[in-house]
Amino acid sequence: MEKPLLVHRHENLLYGLCIITSISIAIYLLISIVGALIFIIVGVFTLFSHAISMSHIQVNGVRITENQFPELYNKVQELCSNMEISKIPEVYVIESGGLLNAFATKVFGLFGKNIVVLYSDFVEASMENEGQEINYVIAHELAHIKRNHITKALLVFPAMWVPFIGVSYSRMAEYTCDRMAAYYTDSSEEAINGLLMLAAGRRLYKKVRLPAYQEQYNDKKGIFITLMELLSTHPPIPKRIHEIETLMYGSPRVALIKRGKQSIAIMLIVFLLFPIVVAGGTFLSILALDKINLFDEFPYESEYTPLMEASLNGDVEAVNELLNEGENPNEMNEYGESPLLIAVVNEHIEVINTLLKNGADPNFQDTEGWTPLMSAVMTENLQVGEILLEAGANPLLVDQYEMTAIDYAKDIGSSEYLQLMNAYIEK
């Protein structure tokens, strides 16, 4: 009998796509310092945590050897021989708290030894029922090693961040291992029973009516069923059984529906329509906010009078025109600012002189008692201070903190300003 094609027809194609995707992501991250740091930190942390986890299993799990569970050891040896795996991996049994599972891995990722871990409840269930389901489980994990899936998974890890791509390769790898396990154990029933045990548990799996269970998959339709499949690392159990039956019998007992059209539609939505909708919605939202002037109720500079605006900008011509039109040089806005105070803060000498000549009060105090002279002291512009003092600014006025312009000059250590103000006090 000619050996059938055991590797799933899409596995190698999707692996190639994952390699291209992973290289692209790696290059994108490594061209920036932050991206490179993230890439390195995630890689080191993943390797470290995996090594700790494997060390825990190697110390606390029970290793299957010639003297420890010899029946299981013989099964491993026989399957490795049948599958042409030259180096027998270490196999451990660990307590699983009721979980039915197994996995193959490597210690230290790319460079370590291969390990197969069997959950104790799976082993116990198989032994209690005097079945050979454990053969399928062991063969499935050995198939991962034979196909080098652990190393490949590490190489394409960045592709797992991209929706649908990385998990699609993972599902094809699972199909391949199911096919290899059924073929090398030469028993589709063992393989199917092993999968049914995952579905119904260690006691009920033998009572499951397989055709009805398969039809259950066909009855469940809808976009969320398809989306669940596209985002899963493992295929649905009914489809895995379908794949085994197709390999071993030539055709399955129950034909399963295909969800190809829905899958393509979902991927188009995610990769094409969804980004367009998000970008378009954002753009339209910005336009809408601009139209309704949402932020007009939070004005800042818009509370400035035209004279304050001109003083802020140092526009002497506009200041003169507004004063001639009757603008009040001592008007205060909600922040307690006057045109003179604004001009002083911005050190617009010509505007300061113009305002003072047109009645601006050099001793104007804002809501906190702050004067234009105090602002001049803080700017350390002696020319501004001299203009204000000449116009009658009083350096002894106090603000709400009982501080004078002289006190502020002492605080900032401006001896020149102290000399200037003391000179005017003595006059």
- pLDDT in tens for each of the 427 residues of the chain? 446 789 999 999 999 999 999 999 888 888 878 777 887 888 788 888 888 888 889 999 999 999 999 999 999 999 999 999 999 999 999 997 777 889 998 876 556 789 999 999 888 877 776 667 889 999 999 999 999 999 898 889 889 888 889 999 999 999 999 999 999 998 888 899 989 998 998 888 889 999 999 999 999 888 888 889 999 999 999 999 999 999 999 889 899 988 877 788 777 777 676 667 667 777 777 777 666 655 454 444 447 889 999 988 999 999 999 999 998 999 888 778 899 999 999 999 999 999 999 999 999 898 888 999 899 889 889 999 899 989 999 999 998 889 998 898 898 888 998 898 888 886 6
- Give, in order, the Cα–Cα distances in Å from 145 to each of 86, 105, 120: 11, 8, 21
Task: Determine the Cα–Cα distance for residues 309 and 346; give it in Å rounded to an integer.
Answer: 12
Task: Determine the Cα–Cα distance for residues 75 and 84; give it in Å rounded to an integer.
Answer: 14
- Is 337 within 8 Å of 366 (Cβ atoms)? yes
**Number of C-beta neighbours around residue 316 at 10 A:** 17
The answer to pTM > 0.85 is no
The secondary structure element, H or E, covering residue 412 is helix 405-412
Per-residue pLDDT tens over the stretch 223-270: 888 889 999 999 999 999 999 999 999 889 899 988 877 788 777 777
User: Looking only at Cα atoms, what is the longest distance across the chain?
Assistant: 120
- Give, in order, the Cα–Cα distances in Å from 8 to each of 13, 273, 300, 305: 10, 31, 66, 76
Residue with tokens 């991996």: 89
Task: Determine the Cα–Cα distance for residues 418 and 405; give it in Å rounded to an integer.
Answer: 9
- 303-426, which class in CATH? mainly alpha
CA-based angle 5:258:260, to the nearest 5? 95
Task: Determine the Cα–Cα distance for residues 413 and 115; give it in Å rounded to an integer.
Answer: 74
Give me the residues paired with residue 103 across strands. 117
Task: Determine the Cα–Cα distance for residues 95 and 98; give it in Å rounded to an integer.
Answer: 8
> Domain boundaries in the chain?
11-207+227-255, 303-426
**Torsion angle of alpha carbons 324, 326, 328, 329, nearest 10°?**
0
